[in-house]
A and B are shown apart, each in its own frame.
Chain A
Amino acid sequence: MAYLDHAATTPMLPEAVEAMTAQLTVTGNASSLHAAGRRARRTVEEGREAFAASLGARPSEVVFTAGGTEADNLAVKGLYWARRDAEPRRTRVLASPVEHHAVLDAVDWLAAHEGANVEYLAVDRYGRVHPDTLREAIARDPDDVALATVMWANNEIGTVMPVRELADVAAEFGVPLHADAVQAYGQLDVDFAASGLAAMTVSGHKVGGPYGIGALLLGRQYTPVPVLHGGGQERHVRSGTLDVPAIASFAVAGVLAAERREDFARTVGALRDDLVKAVLAAAPDAILGGDPAPGGRLPANAHFTFPGCEGDSLLLLLDAQGIECSTGSACTAGVAQPSHVLLATGTDPDLARGTLRFSLGHTSTAADVAAVAAAIGPAVERARTAGLS
């Protein structure tokens, strides 16, 4: 079995499993005032401190959520509402068109229901937003911008955005910039303080932590309007009983991800390079997606377009041989849609149907790469015969 879909989810680290299971049998609501509550609170806060430190953030800048999607929604909607409430003119939302649906759909919802004027920033053929593009968009009318949101690295094609430069531009105009760093986390140095971002989303299960836990790193001067109202547990911007086992586990995974990041990028990056070479050798007309420059893309991402093939067909053929990967684009009821990311980069819609994303992770081996190398040529040939339905 060659599992090459770590960008979807990656196996939990044993240390994270241990941290989680240790807490599952401990009773205590972190908001309770008695001893059990204090014990739970201590676990949460120790986790928060270690977690924050691993991300270059202060503990008070960590808002735990039930995952990346919630953190994205809180950042995008919450900051929009807060900024617009403070100054009704601020209804313009600047977003990259290659965002994950957790951002894209939140932004579109604001346009449909909250009067947001959404402006998608142009990207280059690698899906990258250039700082000048953001500058031009803000400078047109700096006073009506509610927020800008540009992901740190793209989940499909792996292209890395110039986050620091973008944050500098936004800061120049006093516009909060949010970055969905779910894919970059564990692979790039996502240091919150150094990034200059107002808000940043990370998720547990992409770095060996559990599902259902994520965090919004949030500058202390920002108070987004809550999406979830209730007990006010997290800085009064996110309510809900704190998930002590998940937070403890997420913290362990996050700290390890940060510690191992450089080593991960080197070893997994080398495997990825081998995989790219093998695929291009077996299918010479395959097109590598995203930025081909080593520093321009996530070290664990390999994305290809196979002309004349349906991504679905390739996925089925590889799946039957125990190779698990993704077409890379979002599904609607199990049906892969032409990727909005590729369409934004100017890819022909027919071509955009023939994509596969291989994403490596901490359990990937040379044997996984060898399995792909052996299977991909015949699979592409076969899928091409099946053609585009």
Chain B
Amino acid sequence: MTDTPRPAAPRPLRVLAAMSGGVDSAVAAARAVEAGHDVTGVHLALSANPQSFRTGARGCCTIEDSRDARRAADVIGIPFYVWDLAERFREDVVEDFVAEYEAGRTPNPCLRCNEKIKFAALLDKALALGFDAVCTGHYATVVVNEDGSRELHRASDMAKDQSYVLGVLDEKQLAHAMFPLGDTLTTKEEIRAEAERRDLAVAKKPDSHDICFIADGDTQGFLANRLGGKAEGDILDESGAKLGTHDGAFGFTIGQRKGLRIGHPAPDGKPRYVLDISPVNNTVTVGPAEALDVTALTAIRPRWCGTEPAAPGTYTAQLRAHGGETEVDAELVGGELRVSFKEPVRGVAPGQAIVLYDGTRVVGSATIATTSRRTEASV
């Protein structure tokens, strides 16, 4: 017996929930179940030699994390499996990370993992096995337009927004992505409270922050180990004068201030920052903070969350995972993105991703190739 017609309930989907063992992905999976979907949990084994236990907020690929994910799946009441994507992860994320540093750039492996692992290797396998979507615990919002096209937007809670690391997703990947945490206004505290309410033991588990495959958090040590130990080179000032030596140019990041070990202060007494890394000469150039001011950049490998912009436009841009927004003019010239900043920005390094937004909507992303400084064109 039906009286008033009701809007059709959204079609239940077969959803593969990627469960890291953390609180976000557990709550995301639980919400997907609550929304009526047929959910299967999967933990990605990304390390060939996983550590047994987590150390604080580091790592996300330990056996303990796998067990936490399994327990969450038990409580939610969904099937759970562990998939071994360690080889793909090594090839597409870890090797790339090392190679980028070796080339003097500063990669973001989380974006790379989303692009190549979670929404490529995992998604492809999921679709082939008959799933409709991959669900993760990212804080971002997918908006479905009337014509069925999709847009990726910032999460309702800007403080937790992770749309930046999803900026690499194209429309096809987005069509099969589900982010149950971004759709509602929820703070991390509320997510933890929700996990508690759902009897998920991971409710109090610390967030993971550092790079998951560098368990001890020592990125420089990791790189030194991978790139063959010390390769002593010069630290130069802007004029090219030698100020000191370093143990390998790959260990530095543009904008870095600590760990330069130059010894004697700058003539003006102001702190010095890494301005430039040249792997070819194995030199690191340092200078004052002002010299970090970037006014424009070019970026390669653009990926668009929807249609490619046809004309130059004004956008807001985000340059790192927890960075703020800045206004830019951007133009696509021969497949390369040219961006100029309305106000100079600091700490921009080749290898990082620039994500363009139109309001809250993610327009696309690209990998920074070159930057122009106010003082002189560089890199």
Q: Roughly how many angstroms separate A132 CA and B163 CA in the complex, as a whole number?
A: 66
Cβ-defined partner of A334 (8 Å) among B45, B87, B121, B129: B45
Cβ-defined partner of B43 (8 Å) among A312, A315, A334, A386: A334
- A316 within 8 A of partner (CB): yes
- B324 within 8 A of partner (CB): no
Decide: A312 near B83, CB < 8 A? Known: A333-B45, A333-B66, A334-B70: yes
- B40 within 8 A of partner (CB): yes
- B50 within 8 A of partner (CB): yes
Decide: A386 near B45, CB < 8 A? Known: A312-B83, A316-B40, A334-B82: no
Q: Across the interface, which residues of B come within 8 angstroms of A35, CB to CB?
A: none
Is A383 a contact of B129 with CB atoms below 8 Å? Answer: yes
Smallest CB–CB gap between A315 and chain B, Å? Answer: 8
Smallest CB–CB gap between B250 and chain A, Å? Answer: 30
Q: Which of B85-130 contact A (CB under 8 A)?
A: 85, 87-88, 121, 124-125, 128-130
Smallest CB–CB gap between A126 and chain B, Å? Answer: 27
Q: Roughly how many angstroms separate A382 CA and B131 CA in the complex, as a whole number?
A: 11
Cβ-defined partner of B81 (8 Å) among A312, A383, A386, A387: A312
Q: Roughly how many angstroms separate A315 CA and B50 CA in the complex, as a whole number?
A: 23
Q: Across the interface, which residues of A come within 8 angstroms of B87, CB to CB?
A: 389
- B36 within 8 A of partner (CB): no
Across the two chains, which residue of chain B brings its CB closest to A314?
Answer: B129
Q: Across the interface, which residues of A come within 8 angstroms of B40, CB to CB?
A: 316, 320
Q: Which of A312, A336, A389 has the most CB of B within 10 A?
A: A389
Is A333 a contact of B63 with CB atoms below 8 Å? Answer: yes
Q: Which of A366-389 contact B (CB under 8 A)?
A: 382-383, 385-387, 389
Q: Which of A316-339 contact B (CB under 8 A)?
A: 316-317, 319-320, 333-336
Is A319 a contact of B129 with CB atoms below 8 Å? Answer: no
Q: Across the interface, which residues of B come within 8 angstroms of A315, CB to CB?
A: 81
Is B82 a contact of A333 with CB atoms below 8 Å? Answer: yes
- A149 within 8 A of partner (CB): no
Q: Roughly how many angstroms separate A386 CA and B125 CA in the complex, as a whole number?
A: 5
Q: Roughly how many angstroms separate A312 CA and B87 CA in the complex, as a whole number?
A: 15
Q: Across the interface, which residues of A come within 8 angstroms of B358, CB to CB?
A: none
Q: Across the interface, which residues of B come within 8 angstroms of A383, CB to CB?
A: 129
- A65 within 8 A of partner (CB): no
Q: Across the interface, which residues of A come within 8 angstroms of B82, CB to CB?
A: 333-335
Q: Roughly how many angstroms separate A387 CA and B124 CA in the complex, as a whole number?
A: 10
Q: Across the interface, which residues of B come within 8 angstroms of A334, CB to CB?
A: 43, 45, 66, 70, 81-82
- B229 within 8 A of partner (CB): no
Q: Which of A313, A316, A317 has the most CB of B within 10 A?
A: A316
Is A385 a contact of B81 with CB atoms below 8 Å? Answer: no
Across the two chains, which residue of chain A brings its CB closest to B50?
Answer: A333
Q: Across the interface, which residues of A come within 8 angstroms of B83, CB to CB?
A: 312, 335, 389
Decide: A313 near B88, CB < 8 A? Known: A333-B45, A333-B50, A335-B45: no
Write out, one digit per residue, whether chain B residues 53-83 have a CB within 8 A of any chain A CB (1) or not (0): 0000000000100100010000000010111
- B343 within 8 A of partner (CB): no
Q: Roughly how many angstroms separate A383 CA and B124 CA in the complex, as a whole number?
A: 12
Across the two chains, which residue of chain A brings its CB closest to B87?
Answer: A389
Is A317 a contact of B70 with CB atoms below 8 Å? Answer: no
Decide: A317 near B43, CB < 8 A? Known: A312-B83, A336-B84, A389-B83: no
Decide: A335 near B129, CB < 8 A? Known: A316-B40, A319-B79, A389-B121: no
Decide: A389 near B85, CB < 8 A? Known: A319-B79, A320-B79: yes
Q: Across the interface, which residues of B come within 8 angstroms of A382, CB to CB?
A: 128-130
Cβ-defined partner of B128 (8 Å) among A320, A333, A336, A386: A386
Decide: A313 near B125, CB < 8 A? Known: A334-B66, A334-B70: yes
Is A316 a contact of B81 with CB atoms below 8 Å? Answer: yes
5 contacts between A and B (CB under 8 A): A312-B84, A333-B82, A334-B45, A335-B84, A387-B125
Which 9 A-B pairs have CB atoms at the shortest separation, nearest pair first? A334-B82, A386-B128, A385-B128, A335-B84, A333-B63, A335-B45, A386-B125, A333-B66, A386-B129
